[in-house]
Amino acid sequence: MPMTPTQQPPCPSARASFVRGIRLGFPIFLGYVPVGAAFGVLARSWGFNPLQATVCSATALAGAGQFIGLSLMKAGADVASVLIATTVVNLRYVLFGATLSPHIKSAPPLGQAALAYSVTDETFAVNMNDIRHGTSNTWSMAGVGVVAWTGWVAGTALGALGSSLIGDPSRFGVEFAMPAMFTALLVAQAEDKRHVIVGVIAAALAIACALVLPGKWYIIAAAMGAATAGTVIYR
């Protein structure tokens, strides 16, 4: 009896992959809206008009870097100081980009640039989890990036336009939105005890380094230290 050849599932279309990426990134959207609104309120209280605040989020997409930049500008820091501080905080994206680069080579240069622009802590985590399951492609990454960007910009616009009604955003506990989102991403990615152990090492290093290192250097130190420890332990 002749053997029937194995049927390979069809490759998803660009549209289907993009829509799937939007679904994957929707929890990020939900987390970014309140935090973006908090940024919009703060930007308005520190002299930005709604358009300036929204354009800042639309062109920067830097999260913590934007909050730090605002704080420095309010304190009277010069442009060089703001640029240096935000660059240090965002150095971790160099590591993210290096990790993702082998997986986006099929995209044209402009597409790679757009995907690189959309990289945040949360989109990186979601895309890496998708890559591990072998279901990621450049179109799904684009969907994740677009929905995350939309949430951040929409939240900023809402906060900036409604700042007079919102008042102090801390009353609504928006500061917890980002830690809660990171916790959910960690739980989703921790598939075995190795991931849990490396996560614990990263947390311990972050706390220890925050006590001795200035500014936000503890983020970089903890990420590199935990990655190194994981490589050595599970060589």
Write the pLDDT tens digit of every residue in 148-183: 999 999 999 999 998 877 766 667 666 666 566 667
Q: Is the pLDDT of residue 4 over 50?
A: no
Give the Cα separation of 185 and 183 in Å (integer). 5
Q: Is the pLDDT of residue 21 over 60?
A: yes
Q: Find tokens 């990289």 and name the residue.
A: 119
pLDDT tens for residues 105-160?
Answer: 989 999 999 999 999 988 998 999 999 889 999 999 999 999 999 999 999 999 99
Q: What is the DSSP letter of 206?
A: H
Q: Is the pLDDT of residue 19 over 80?
A: yes
pLDDT tens for residues 35-85?
Answer: 888 889 888 888 899 999 999 999 988 887 888 788 778 777 778 878 877
Give the Cα separation of 183 and 216 in Å (integer). 20
Give the Cα separation of 198 and 227 in Å (integer). 7
Reading the block at residue 45, the tokens are: 């209280």
* Backbone angles phi and psi of 111, in degrees to 5: -65, -40
Considering Cα of 35, then 55, then 93, then 123, what sign does the dihedral take?
positive
Cβ 120 vs Cβ 65: under 8 Å:
no
Contacts of residue 214, defined as CB under 8 A and 6 or more positions apart, other chains included, come to: none
Mean predicted confidence (pLDDT) in 4-8? 44
* Own/partner pairs, 202-210, CB within 8 angstroms, 24+ separation: 202/226
The predicted structure's pLDDT at residue 5 = 44
Cβ 161 vs Cβ 7: under 8 Å:
no
Give the Cα separation of 154 and 234 in Å (integer). 42
Cβ 89 vs Cβ 64: under 8 Å:
yes
